[in-house]
């Protein structure tokens, strides 16, 4: 089977081999599907992966820590075993190495219920995945940008919590300058046709005005034939990968970028990416130590484009001390 399995078909491998599920019971089969659905929500929404074949031992190591922090030991263990079973099935069918086994080898032991208690001490070599972008680092990145377009895209990532793919899909007509809003955001990871509106700050509003009406956008020859807000010298629409590379490079130039680990393919994974801005947006709004209190989860779920609050709830660990611990864990 080719390793080009579409995301929406992630369940197909399991469905084909449901007769192999432990004890061959329908009840357990449904449990596996439930656990898999929970993991896929984590992988595609929180980690912004696009395929199950992007899951490696670092992803699973962090998911292991997430389970420990979210559930009672026995429940967390059962979820882990179900997901491990799924990836064992994937390995049989495609040859793709089971990342759960790799993660367990990294710990030099099999994950057992007794491990799934207390605080997480066994973080994969690269450290904690979720990196909160400090205000000073963000400001340093803004100072490093020499193009009004790049400053605007950083500001919108920070102000609006958009996925890179969503920001690249924004059209000029979606921007309501009088309201400091971007409308008609299509949530690609949802299949219900849902659209949402997000808002940016007055400081960003002045940059938006300069970009749209002060020559920032029109300096690109591709802009005249493009409906999209962000264009490049060669393209009428900025690609998410291009946007992410630009964010990574700006952070490098600003001296705030770090390599957190090397993935299974030998590529560096960086501390500051476009998607880390989305995490920072969410964390900023669940914090209770900033004087205004935490935003209700149903509001935050809507702004992030989550289908329900189950995914959004993951960020509540950073309400108070969790944020400090995450920062301390990541600091050199």
Contact 131, 278 (CB under 8 A): no
| pLDDT tens-digit readout, 202-230 | 999 999 999 999 999 999 999 999 999 99
Q: 270 and 248 in contact (C-beta within 8 Å)?
A: yes
Q: Which residues pair with 269 in a beta bridge?
A: 261
Q: In the 8-state DSSP scheme, what is residue 305?
A: T
Residue 49 three-state SS: coil
Mean pLDDT computed over 279-285: 90
- C-alpha to C-alpha distance for 2 and 173, rounded to whole angstroms: 40
For residue 318, give the nearest of 284, 278, 270, 274 by alpha carbon.
Answer: 284
What pLDDT was estimated at residue 52? 85
The span from the CA of 124 to the CA of 109, in Å, is 13
Whole-Å CA distances, 328 to 34, 65, 168, 243, 331: 34, 16, 33, 28, 5
Q: Which pLDDT does position 115 carry in this prediction?
A: 34
What's the pLDDT score for residue 32?
A: 80
Query: For 176-194, how does the pLDDT look when each residue is reduced to its tens digit (9 = 90+)?
Result: 999 999 999 987 655 667 8
155 compared with 58, residue with greater pLDDT: 155
In tens, the pLDDT along 74-94 reads 788 888 888 888 888 888 878
Q: Name every residue whose Cβ is closer than 8 Å to that of residue 198 and which is 6 or more positions away in sequence.
A: 159, 160, 161, 162, 181, 182, 185, 303
- Angle ∠(81,23,67) on CA atoms, nearest 5: 15
Kindly report, residue by residue over 99-154, the tens digit of the pLDDT: 887 676 544 333 333 333 322 222 232 334 456 798 999 999 999 998 999 999 99
d(CA 176, CA 223): 19
The helix or strand, by DSSP H or E, that contains position 120, with its residue range, turns out to be: none
Rounded CA separation 77/207 (Å):
49
Percentage of the chain beyond pLDDT 90 is 35
Q: With contact defined as beta carbons under 8 Å apart, do 144 and 253 qualify?
A: yes
Three-state secondary structure of 52-108: HHHCCHHHHHHHHHHHHHHCCHHHHHHHHHHHHHHHHHHHHHHCCCCHHHHHHHHCC
Q: Is 293 exposed, middle or buried (0-12, 13-18, 19+ CB in 10 A)?
A: exposed
d(CA 153, CA 106): 38
The band of 314, judged by pLDDT with boundaries at 50, 70 and 90, is: confident
Please list, in sequence order, all residues whose beta carbon lies within 8 angstroms of the beta carbon of residue 125, skipping any fewer than 6 positions away: 58, 106, 261
């Amino acid at each position: 089977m080719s390793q080009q399995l579409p995301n929406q078909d992630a369940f197909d491998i399991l469905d084909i081999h449901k007769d192999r599920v432990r004890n061959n019971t329908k009840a357990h089969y449904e449990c596996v599907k439930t656990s898999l659905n929970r993991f896929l929500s984590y992988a595609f929404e929180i980690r912004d992966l696009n395929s199950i074949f992007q899951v490696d031992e670092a992803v699973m190591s962090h998911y292991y820590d997430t389970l420990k922090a979210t559930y009672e030991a026995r429940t967390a263990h059962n979820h882990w075993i179900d997901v491990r079973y799924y990836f064992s099935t994937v390995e049989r069918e495609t040859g793709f190495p089971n990342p759960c086994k790799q993660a367990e080898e990294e710990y030099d032991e099999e994950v057992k219920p007794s491990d799934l208690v207390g605080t997480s001490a066994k973080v994969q070599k690269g450290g904690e995945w979720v990196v909160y972008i400090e205000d000073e680092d963000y400001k340093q990145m803004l100072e490093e940008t020499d193009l009004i377009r790049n400053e605007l895209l950083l500001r919108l990532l920070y102000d609006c919590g958009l996925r890179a793919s969503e920001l690249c899909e924004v059209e000029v007509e979606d921007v309501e300058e009088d309201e400091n809003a971007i409308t008609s955001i299509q949530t690609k990871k949802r299949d219900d046709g849902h659209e949402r509106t997000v808002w940016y700050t007055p400081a960003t509003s002045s940059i938006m005005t300069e970009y749209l009406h002060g020559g920032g956008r029109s300096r690109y020859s591709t802009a005249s034939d493009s409906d999209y807000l962000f264009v490049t010298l060669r393209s009428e629409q900025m690609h998410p990968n291009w946007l992410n590379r630009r964010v990574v490079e700006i952070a490098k130039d600003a001296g705030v970028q770090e390599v957190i680990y090397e993935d299974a393919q030998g590529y560096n994974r960086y501390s500051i990416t476009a998607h880390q801005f989305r995490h920072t947006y969410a964390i900023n709004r669940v914090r209770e130590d900033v004087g205004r209190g935490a935003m209700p989860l149903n509001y935050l779920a809507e702004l992030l484009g989550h289908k329900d609050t189950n995914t959004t709830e993951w960020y509540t660990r950073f309400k108070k001390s969790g944020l400090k611990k995450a920062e301390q864990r990541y600091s050199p």
